[in-house]
Structure 1
Amino acid sequence: MNLSVKILIFMVLGAIVGVLFLQFGDYQCAKSLAEGECQALQENSWAYTYFVEGLFNIGGSLFINALKMLMVPLVLVSLVCGVYSLADPSKLGRLSLKSIGLYLLTTAIALTLALTLASIFQPGVGMPVGEANFDASDKPPLSDVIINIVPTNPFEAMVSANMLQIIVFAILVGLAITLSGEQGKRIGNWFEDANKVVMELVNIIMRFAPYGVFFLIAKTFSTFPFSDLVGSLGSYFILVIVGLLLHALLTYSVLITLFTRLNPIKFFKAMWPAMLTAFGTSSSNATLPVTMRCAEANLGVHKNTFSFTLPLGATINMDGTAIMQGIATLFIAQAYSVDLSMAQLLTVVLTATLASIGTAGVPSVGLILLAGVLTQVNLPVEAIGMILGIDRLLDMTRTAVNITGDAAVTTIVAKSEDEIDIETFNDTNNRSNFDD
């Protein structure tokens, strides 16, 4: 059975099992005499203890850890090989300019789409504000972001998984190997062999992907009651989902058709395993091994292109997050009856687009970035507390959009550099099942 089908089946099964476990907890709550005992009864039940916090939590965490285990060696080795394989070092400069330019463009389009939707449908009008608290971490200043791009200790960067620093270090090592003559060729061959071993490790881990996704989805749906969480936030929730789907299906399709003349439907079929994995893991970095495998085996993109553009995109490209930020900003403004001027709306676009690079490596990046945007337009940061409850559910979808954007930009850049196998891209009957 195709890997995508397996993941989809186990994802649906996980959702069903999670809902059943949640209903089991709700049944106990309904039987309790005091409403305050509901949470205690659910958390102390044998089902919650042994399955939700036991089996589901352990199984999902093991899969996430396995993917994260691959992240640093995969990015380092593949990027060194990619730079080393470039016959012309000036080509690296072209790849950088094209990739960063397209990533910033798609993020700006995502924010503009989000603000347009929120302005038309006004999901925050009439929303009761109530008490909402949120403790936002500080966003690093731009000067620190620029300084910290170059690692003082590359091994520390690998230990802390600082992807921007790892990318810079790998590019420099690849250039050094290229310029080192015969000695460089020997080291380059070692990295080529290491890359093959790492990719085989990806194949091994991906055979467990359906089960890992099952555990992750089951835990999510057994912990978050969908109907209760959405409630009065239903209009915001639905609008964010609509914005994400429009951006993924419309924006990326137009860009791929316009710049490459390739069939966008075949693109989405090629990236389907990565999109499903991203939905289950809610992490662009954790999904990176799958994204790279799909780019090579299904899209036909050459290694010296995707080994640079995909790690960079997983680090700085956040189209799905940008859509959430745009809609959330206007949602909060409407809830507080604040009219934002055109200048403030432009500030939202510029702040969120440019700051995405600086906050990419910070946990809960979307909420931290949103806090910075709200501050720029004088809206209360604590209002983020209103949307925290359903953010976990939205995070799954926007992560899938994020990695799809990474792959779309990679496809466009590869086509412009003549670094894509068109036959592989068009061959929808020969998609990688991670078994070869």
Structure 2
Amino acid sequence: MSSSAHKLSLTARIFIGMAAGILTGVLLQVLFDDSGDFAFSIFGFEFSTYNFLVEGIFSTLGQIFIASLKMLVVPLVFVSLICGTSTLTDPSKLGRLGAKSVGLYIVTTAIAITLAMSMALLFSPGEGANMMTEVVYEAKEAPSLSDVIVNMFPSNPINSMAQGNMLQIIVFAVLFGIAMAMTGDAGKRLTAIFEDINTVIMRLVTIIMNLAPYGVFVLMAKLFATVGGDTIFKLAKYFFLVFAVLIIHGLVTYSALLKLLSGLSPVMLFRKMRDAALFAFSTSSSSATLPVTMETARNKLGVGKSVSSFTLPLGATINMDGTAIMQGVATVFIAQVYAVDLTMSDYLMVILTATLASIGTAGVPGVGLIMLAMVLQQVNLPVEGIALIIGVDRLLDMTRTAVNITGDCMVSCIVAKSEGELDASVFNDPKAGLKEEDVDFQHFDKNG
């Protein structure tokens, strides 16, 4: 069994798990409808076959898989960021990293929403739609920009880690790493300890990656056993337009920026992003995928530790190209459904609001819909319109996340190349990182 499993790459195994999960979910939805389901008893408890599989086994295992990924995020970001900043010999480099990263993330977000609105105006997904919904959406209040800036600095770093507040963790880790770099021998001894911890954490990431095909299978099976085909049919034009813009932005915009600003091969980037993209697609969470994204950037793309440990956690928090695309199409869609004519100044306001909101609402739960509510309010569109698209948002969120983490790695490659922190031989090697991502569970190598 072990030898046959190793004949398939991790990407192939994840893809097989995903395809099998989708097929299983569709079959469950077809076979176990209201008339075809049946009940059984275990230890005196009555179970429905459908609920036992979908809400029981698949849901439980899927939540365990997501929790296992999220378990690694805080220690990985904290430790890797300390390792990266503690070795910086040039203090101004940190400022350059921050300026380049944030600048590129803002530019890609602005391009994303402009492209989305242009395509939406061209294809008019909401024109002539007569949609009613019983779902009610209540907009949550978004924090002000000053509150976001103040809240970036933790009053209690341990509490920030417990809550998973990524911006506060980044700020504390950067300050701690700088202090270590300025502390002489004591800082060097502590750096060596953190380097060892980082190595162990990355090995833990690899272990969970090897279990991913099973996690992806149960996540896909549960999703496609519950998603309603009738909802997708009613919103088909909106759904496929958002999906198409996501693909265009991911392939065209990222390819152009990578080639123009770094001269690197976009084909090689996309080829090496396959595993991380499949993780992102199945988890719908940039933060949960962050351990895999960092492993990909370091071992497959050759991005230096000091760059990847800073740009990737930051990107997982503020880079929302996929969400911006959803907002652009959704704004035009809702305006057309409610027969509201938006002016050119309204469209420019949408672009500006969505771009700034991608940073202003960073780290807020349900950030995509909060940002969309902000955008709609800016141009006097009914926030209740969000309820029209909630039904298909889960499927689109999967693709948005895959696009977002690809953008994170693209920006990391550009920044690393400009800082001389990119190993071109690793980036151009098709087999780079393949050895590191495989674990032999039967024979442990004590020497790593």
CA contact (8 A) 1:164 1:312 kept: yes
Q: 1:408 aligns with which of 407, 410, 414?
A: 410
Answering whether residue 90 of structure 2 is matched by residue 88 of structure 1, we say yes
Answering whether residue 15 of structure 2 is matched by residue 8 of structure 1, we say yes
Question: Corresponding residue for 1:38?
Answer: none
Q: What amino acid does structure 2 have at the position aligned with 1:181?
A: G
What secondary structure sits across from 1:429 in the alignment? coil
Query: Offset of 1:30 from its aligned partner?
Result: 7.9
Query: Offset of 1:89 from its aligned partner?
Result: 1.2
Query: Offset of 1:389 from its aligned partner?
Result: 0.4
Task: Measure the CA separation in 2 of the matches of 1:45 and 1:264.
Answer: 50
CA contact (8 A) 2:284 2:398 kept: yes
Answering whether residue 231 of structure 2 is matched by residue 224 of structure 1, we say no
Query: Offset of 1:184 from its aligned partner?
Result: 1.0
Task: Measure the CA separation in 2 of the matches of 1:429 and 1:177.
Answer: 35
Task: Measure the CA separation in 1 of the matches of 2:59 and 2:359.
Answer: 31
Q: 1:168 aligns with which of 158, 167, 171?
A: 171
The 5 Å alignment of 1:168-187 reads 168-187=171-190
Q: What amino acid does structure 1 have at the position aligned with 2:156?
A: N
Task: Measure the CA separation in 2 of the matches of 1:270 and 1:207.
Answer: 16
What secondary structure sits across from 2:104 in the alignment? helix
Task: Measure the CA separation in 1 of the matches of 2:125 and 2:328.
Answer: 12
CA contact (8 A) 1:127 1:232 kept: no
CA contact (8 A) 1:129 1:336 kept: no
Answering whether residue 57 of structure 2 is matched by residue 51 of structure 1, we say no
Q: What amino acid does structure 2 have at the position aligned with 1:250?
A: V
Task: Measure the CA separation in 2 of the matches of 1:322 and 1:78.
Answer: 29
Query: Offset of 1:46 from its aligned partner?
Result: 2.4
State TM-score, norm by structure 2: 0.92
Higher helix share: 1
CA contact (8 A) 2:180 2:191 kept: yes
Query: Offset of 1:358 from its aligned partner?
Result: 2.4
Task: Measure the CA separation in 1 of the matches of 2:432 and 2:355.
Answer: 37
Q: CA RMSD in A?
A: 1.4
The 5 Å alignment of 1:244-255 reads 244-255=246-257
Question: Corresponding residue for 1:20?
Answer: 27
The 5 Å alignment of 1:16-415 reads 16-26=23-33, 28-29=34-35, 46-131=48-133, 133-225=136-228, 227-415=229-417
State TM-score, norm by structure 1: 0.95
Task: Measure the CA separation in 1 of the matches of 2:217 and 2:140.
Answer: 32
CA contact (8 A) 1:279 1:399 kept: yes
Task: Measure the CA separation in 2 of the matches of 1:305 and 1:430.
Answer: 19
Query: Offset of 1:204 from its aligned partner?
Result: 1.3
CA contact (8 A) 1:178 1:184 kept: yes
Query: Offset of 1:195 from its aligned partner?
Result: 0.7
Task: Measure the CA separation in 2 of the matches of 1:371 and 1:295.
Answer: 34
Task: Measure the CA separation in 1 of the matches of 2:369 and 2:434.
Answer: 35
Change (3 A) 1:50 1:30: closer
Deviations 1:213-235 (A, max 9, x none): 1111110000102x312122100
Change (3 A) 1:380 1:410: same
Task: Measure the CA separation in 2 of the matches of 1:198 and 1:84.
Answer: 18
Q: What amino acid does structure 2 have at the position aligned with 1:409?
A: V
What secondary structure sits across from 2:264 in the alignment? coil
CA contact (8 A) 2:37 2:48 kept: no
Deviations 1:113-139 (A, max 9, x none): 001000100101011142452112211
Range moving further from structure 2, 418-427 or 354-363: 354-363
Deviations 1:254-307 (A, max 9, x none): 011101111101000111100000000000000000000000111011111100
Change (3 A) 1:384 1:65: same
CA contact (8 A) 1:302 1:421 kept: yes
Q: What amino acid does structure 2 have at the position aligned with 1:10?
A: G
Range moving further from structure 2, 342-351 or 97-106: 342-351
CA contact (8 A) 2:139 2:373 kept: yes
Q: What amino acid does structure 2 have at the position aligned with 1:158?
A: M
Query: Offset of 1:435 from its aligned partner?
Result: 2.0
Task: Measure the CA separation in 2 of the matches of 1:302 and 1:430.
Answer: 14
Query: Offset of 1:25 from its aligned partner?
Result: 2.8
Task: Measure the CA separation in 1 of the matches of 2:37 and 2:410.
Answer: 51
Query: Offset of 1:189 from its aligned partner?
Result: 1.2
Deviations 1:128-179 (A, max 9, x none): 1424521122111112111101001000100000000000000000100011
What percentage of aligned pairs have identical amino acids? 57
Q: What amino acid does structure 2 have at the position aligned with 1:316?
A: I
Q: What amino acid does structure 1 have at the position aligned with 2:215?
A: G
What secondary structure sits across from 1:387 in the alignment? helix
